[in-house]
């Protein structure tokens, strides 16, 4: 609106300095931005992983630099019944614990998603097993499973009088296996429950109202709305849960150390047992490397079977 | 099809009272629009009819049956939500067939009903798409399709057009009205937009703060608003409402300006509110001189903001106005269409105006 004769004020542009031009160069920027990430990954991820894989193909022991032996470690393990026992129990431990964690975790998440009194308090309590240090959990369970001082035995023998003798939780192989699974489930439920609760809360309440008007029973609302809407998150949580469980070490090692008679060794504890106390670094590394295919398979399964949902993508017509 | 009745319906959320005794009778097959400003309780009333909110007091009847204790699925109603609430993981076909699938209808019946609804709404080509792959208008139509396949006694709509752009809204408005004329299903439609209410309704129910302010056919509300709230809410641009007092000479505004009252009608003197719609001013060489403030030509008509004395009013004229801001334009209100309201209660001062029409 001002008179056209008035000259416009123009912001003076300074010529960029040589340094500024250098940092504006795309190639320099790319390298500068990538360097920290690549550096960290190399030092803290790739190097230990690479070293571990390398060791698996050597006969290194503690205190002696080994030589390249090719697949010898793996050939030896293939004929080792203790290794196959650990493979079996790793899979069994992971499968049973995962199923239980998801069944109970989903149930808990559904409960917490209702309007219950003291909701935030209950949520805080649910998180407790998760924030407890694993070793503390292990010690607690070790005590709970103790042949003499077990509280469970006390309840059944002294308080209820239903049994005459104490339980022997960790003394024989199957009770020991299930006892470890119970401890793992107790510890893992909060992660599953809280993650699934977050997933449940992203489901719009009006979908349930629409289903209610469409005549859906509570079970049908769960089956046709909750489950399909939760599946993508379920897949991710399950992938993580499987990886955590399969690679679990602390709980098992602290409670049973793989016993009795190697019946509760999982691959991680066996690898440690052979590698560090046993001194056979190469063999321990080979056991650890043997875990990789299982983890890759579990990840691919949950990613492809559960996570990819066509309705989530804005794809064109069929 | 069925009639619907609200009898002294009340609702509170804890100690917050949202509805204070709403009574409305809706005859079978009618298209009723609940309209009112945001937060007045329209959605709450609709959700109570659907069975999604419990009823604090009073009775709701569908087809003569009290449904207070009837669960939503047995009320035989279908609802279109404001956000459509389409199941994102189901195709359009499955979305529409869901209610029949739950009722375990035979496959061929399901397919037939879905196709019937799809044909009515022009959705045949979209049946295999997911909601995410549809535009806003198409989603709105799928939500209607999901309601239509149910063949319900009553359709409920909660602001179904408010997420659409202006042009599509006008289009869907006439499409929905046509649909109602075809299906003749009793419909309760909630909106905050009085134009939607005026254009679509057989009966408009105007609500404010949980009270029904007036119910009736659109033109009756327009011609004879029962109170100040309805007078100001219905009609666009809004009715001019001027405070002042009735005197033997006419209506005297606060600043002394005198507005004419109908000659035969002499309501009892006293303070009142004078109402005149913008379109009921006409250009009149013998009228009151009004100073032009703003001229807004719209092609078919011209909207002018005027000042009569110190009183600001809006006028809408069919003529094209050449006047510029500051000019004087002689105008006069159509005396047959002047409204008077009680200033305290806001109620229409009825007897005076009745005489005018006689
Ligand atoms: N679940 C609820 N809890 C408490 N107050 C509510 C709830 N739902 C609605 N209200 C209140 O009731 C009033 C009416 O809401 P609503 O029926 O949604 O209005 P609208 O006419 O805009 O659809 C509002 O003041 C709102 O804050
Ligand atoms: Mg609303």
Domain coordinates in residue numbering, chain A: 81-267+291-309
- Which residue of chain B comes nearest to A315, CA vs CA? B133
Segments of chain A scoring below 50 in pLDDT: 1-2, 314-318
Alpha helices (H) along chain B: 42-50, 92-102, 107-121, 136-148, 166-183, 194-200, 218-223, 228-233, 350-357
Q: Within a 10 A sphere around the Cβ of A181, how many other Cβ atoms? A: 23
Contact residues for B267 (Cβ-Cβ < 8 A; gap 6+): B246, B261, B340, B349, B351, B352
C-alpha A190: how far from chain center:
12
Residues B98, B246: one domain?
A: no
Residues B152, B177: one domain?
A: yes
Residues B117, B50: one domain?
A: yes
Q: Which of B164, B195, B228 is the last residue of a domain?
A: B228
Residues B186, B325: one domain?
A: no
Please tell me if residue B89 touches chain A, with a CB cutoff of 8 Å.
yes
In a domain, B234, yes or no: no
Q: What is the pLDDT, as a whole number, of residue A6?
A: 67
Length of chain B: 358
Cα B197 to ligand 2 centre (Å):
15
Q: Contact B136/A318 with Cβ under 8 angstroms? A: no
* Nearest Cα to Cα of residue B127 among A317, A207, A314: A317
* Inter-chain CB proximity A214 and B88 less than 8 Å: no
Residues B162, B218: one domain?
A: yes
- Which residue of chain A comes nearest to B98, CA vs CA? A214
Of residues B88, B99, B133, nearest to A215 (C-beta)? B99
Atom 2 in ligand 1: residue holding the nearest Cα: B13
Per-residue b or e along B17-32, where b marks 16 or more CB atoms closer than 10 Å to that residue's CB:
ebbbbbebebeeebbb
Tokens of residue B207, six digits: 């609500």
The distance of A117 to chain B (nearest Cα, Å) reads: 16
Please tell me if residue B54 touches chain A, with a CB cutoff of 8 Å.
no
In a domain, B79, yes or no: yes
Residues B214, B260: one domain?
A: no
Residues B323, B246: one domain?
A: yes
DSSP B301-332: -EEEEEEETTEEEEEEESSPP---TT-EEEEE
Calculate the alpha carbon distances from B345 to A249, B40, B213, B341, B348 in Å: 78, 19, 12, 8, 9
* Inter-chain CB proximity A224 and B98 less than 8 Å: yes
Per-residue b or e along B182-208, where b marks 16 or more CB atoms closer than 10 Å to that residue's CB:
eeebbbbbbbbbbebbbebbebbbbbb
Q: Contact A233/A199 with Cβ under 8 angstroms? A: yes
Q: What is the edge-to-edge ordering of all strands in the sheet holding B270-276?
A: B258-259, B250-253, B240-247, B270-276, B339-341
Q: What is the pLDDT, as a whole number, of residue A275?
A: 87
pLDDT by residue (tens digit) across A22-46? 888 888 888 888 888 888 888 888 8
Q: What is the pLDDT, as a whole number, of residue A1?
A: 47
Residues B189, B248: one domain?
A: no
In a domain, B235, yes or no: no
CATH of the domain at B210: 3.40.50.300
Question: Assign residue A225 a region: left if phi > 0, alpha if psi is -120 to 50, beta otherwise?
Answer: alpha
Structurally, at CATH architecture level, domain A81-267+291-309 sits in: Orthogonal Bundle (1.10)
Atom 16 in ligand 1: residue holding the nearest Cα: B41
Residues B144, B253: one domain?
A: no
**Domains in chain B, number:** 2
Separation of alpha carbons B142 and B148, rounded Å: 10
* Inter-chain CB proximity B90 and A209 less than 8 Å: no
**Which residue shows structure tokens 């703060």?**
B209
Residue B7 parent element (H or E): strand B4-13
* Nearest Cα to Cα of residue B340 among B281, B280, B284, B268: B268
Q: Within a 10 A sphere around the Cβ of B14, how many other Cβ atoms? A: 5
Residues B218, B301: one domain?
A: no
In a domain, B233, yes or no: no
Query: Could you tell me if the CB of B39 is within 6 A of ligand 1?
Result: yes
Q: What is the pLDDT, as a whole number, of residue B265?
A: 63
**Which residue shows structure tokens 């998603």?**
A113
In a domain, B316, yes or no: yes
Q: Which of B228, B248, B265 is the last residue of a domain?
A: B228
Cα B2 to ligand 1 centre (Å):
27
Q: What is the pLDDT, as a whole number, of residue A310?
A: 65
Q: Within a 10 A sphere around the Cβ of B12, how many other Cβ atoms? A: 13
Q: What is the pLDDT, as a whole number, of residue A163?
A: 80
Q: Contact A109/A126 with Cβ under 8 angstroms? A: no
- Which residue of chain B comes nearest to A214, CA vs CA? B99
* Inter-chain CB proximity B83 and A318 less than 8 Å: no
In chain B, which residues have their Cβ closer than 8 Å to the Cβ of A204? 83, 85
Separation of alpha carbons B134 and B92, rounded Å: 9
In chain A, which residues have their Cβ closer than 8 Å to the Cβ of B73? 212-216
In chain B, which residues have their Cβ closer than 8 Å to the Cβ of A210? 79, 81, 85, 87, 146
Q: Give residue B138's domain range.
A: 4-228
Q: What is the pLDDT, as a whole number, of residue A309?
A: 66
The distance of B279 to chain A (nearest Cα, Å) reads: 36
Query: Could you tell me if the CB of B69 is within 6 A of ligand 1?
Result: no
Calculate the alpha carbon distances from B295 to A167, B185, B315, B325 in Å: 94, 44, 10, 7
Q: Which of B228, B253, B281 is the last residue of a domain?
A: B228
In chain B, which residues have their Cβ closer than 8 Å to the Cβ of A315? 133
Residues B171, B261: one domain?
A: no
- Output the tens digit of pLDDT for each of chain B's 358 residues: 799 999 999 999 999 999 999 999 999 999 999 999 999 999 999 999 999 999 999 999 999 999 999 999 899 999 999 899 999 999 999 999 999 999 999 999 999 999 999 988 889 999 999 999 998 889 999 999 999 998 899 999 999 998 888 888 898 898 889 989 988 999 999 999 999 999 999 999 999 999 999 999 999 999 999 999 999 999 989 999 999 998 888 899 988 888 988 876 667 778 899 999 999 999 999 989 999 999 999 989 999 999 998 899 999 999 888 888 999 999 999 988 899 999 899 999 864 444 444 3
- Determine the residue of B6, B15, B17, B41 to mutate for testing ligand 1's pocket, defined as the one with the most ligand atoms within 8 A of the Cβ atom: B41
In chain A, which residues have their Cβ closer than 8 Å to the Cβ of B83? 204, 206
Separation of alpha carbons B170 and A118, rounded Å: 48
Q: What is the pLDDT, as a whole number, of residue A165?
A: 81
Helix B92-102 to helix B136-148 angle, to the nearest 10 degrees?
A: 20
In a domain, B81, yes or no: yes
Cα B323 to ligand 1 centre (Å):
47
Q: What is the pLDDT, as a whole number, of residue B221?
A: 94
CATH of the domain at B290: 2.40.50.140
For residue A318, give the 3-state DSSP assignment.
coil
């Amino acid at each position: 609106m001002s008179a056209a004769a008035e000259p416009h004020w123009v912001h003076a542009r300074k010529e960029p300095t040589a340094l500024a031009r250098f940092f504006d160069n795309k190639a320099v920027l790319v390298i500068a931005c990538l360097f920290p990430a690549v550096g960290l990954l190399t030092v803290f991820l790739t190097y230990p992983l690479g070293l571990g894989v390398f060791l698996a193909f050597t006969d290194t022991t503690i205190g002696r630099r080994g030589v390249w032996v090719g697949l010898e470690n793996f050939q030896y393990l293939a004929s080792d019944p203790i290794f196959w026992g650990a493979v079996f129990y790793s899979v069994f431990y992971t499968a049973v614990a995962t199923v239980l964690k998801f069944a109970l975790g989903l149930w808990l998440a559904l409960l917490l998603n209702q309007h219950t009194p003291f909701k935030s308090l209950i949520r805080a309590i649910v998180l407790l097993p998760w924030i407890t240090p694993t070793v503390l959990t292990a010690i607690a369970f070790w005590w709970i499973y103790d042949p003499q001082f077990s509280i469970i035995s006390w309840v059944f023998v002294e308080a209820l009088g239903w049994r005459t003798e104490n339980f022997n939780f960790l003394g024989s192989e199957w009770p020991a296996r299930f006892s470890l699974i119970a401890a793992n489930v107790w510890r893992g439920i909060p992660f599953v429950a809280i993650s699934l609760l977050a997933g449940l809360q992203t489901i719009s309440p009006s979908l349930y109202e629409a289903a209610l008007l469409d005549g859906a029973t509570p079970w049908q609302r769960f089956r046709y709305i909750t489950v399909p809407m939760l599946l993508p998150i379920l897949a991710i949580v399950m992938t993580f849960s499987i990886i955590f469980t399969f690679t679990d070490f602390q709980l098992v090692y602290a409670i049973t150390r793989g016993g009795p008679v190697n019946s509760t060794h999982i691959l991680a504890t066996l690898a440690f047992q052979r590698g560090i106390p046993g001194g056979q670094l190469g063999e321990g590394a080979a056991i650890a490397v043997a875990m990789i295919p299982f983890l890759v398979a579990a990840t691919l399964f949950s990613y492809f079977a559960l996570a990819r949902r066509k309705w989530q993508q804005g794809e064109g017509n069929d | 099809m069925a009639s619907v009745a609200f009898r002294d319906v009340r609702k509170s959320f804890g100690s917050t009272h949202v509805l204070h005794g709403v009574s409305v009778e809706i005859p079978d097959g009618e298209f009723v629009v609940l309209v009112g400003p945001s937060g007045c309780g329209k959605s709450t009333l609709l959700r109570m009819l659907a069975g999604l909110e419990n009823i604090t007091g009073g009775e709701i009847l569908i087809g003569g049956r009290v449904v207070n204790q009837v669960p939503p699925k047995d009320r035989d109603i279908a609802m279109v939500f404001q956000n459509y609430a389409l199941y994102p993981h189901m195709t359009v076909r499955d979305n529409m067939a869901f209610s029949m699938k739950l009722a375990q209808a035979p496959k061929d019946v399901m397919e037939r009903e879905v196709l019937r609804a799809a044909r009515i709404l022009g959705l045949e080509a979209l049946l295999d798409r997911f909601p995410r792959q549809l535009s806003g208008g198409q989603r709105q139509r799928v939500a209607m399709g999901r309601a239509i396949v149910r063949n319900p006694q009553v359709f409920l709509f909660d602001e179904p057009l408010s997420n659409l752009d202006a042009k599509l809204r006008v289009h869907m408005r006439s499409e929905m009205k046509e649909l109602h004329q075809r299906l003749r299903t009793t419909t309760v439609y909630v909106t905050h937009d009085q134009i939607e209410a005026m254009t679509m309704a057989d009966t408009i129910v105007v609500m404010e703060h949980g009270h029904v302010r007036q119910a009736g056919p659109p033109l009756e509300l327009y011609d004879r608003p029962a109170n100040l709230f309805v007078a100001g809410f219905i009609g666009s641009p809004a009715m001019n409402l001027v405070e002042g007092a009735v005197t033997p000479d006419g209506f005297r505004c606060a600043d002394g300006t005198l507005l004419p009252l109908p000659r035969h009608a002499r309501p009892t003197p006293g303070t009142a509110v004078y109402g005149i719609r913008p379109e009921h001013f006409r250009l009149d060489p013998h009228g009151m001189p009004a100073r032009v403030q703003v001229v807004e030509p719209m092609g078919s008509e011209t909207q002018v903001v005027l000042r009569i004395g110190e009183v600001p009013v809006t006028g809408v004229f069919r003529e094209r106005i050449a006047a510029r801001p500051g000019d004087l334009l002689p105008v006069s209100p159509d005396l047959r269409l002047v409204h008077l309201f009680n200033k305290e209660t806001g109620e229409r001062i009825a007897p005076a105006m009745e005489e005018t029409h006689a």
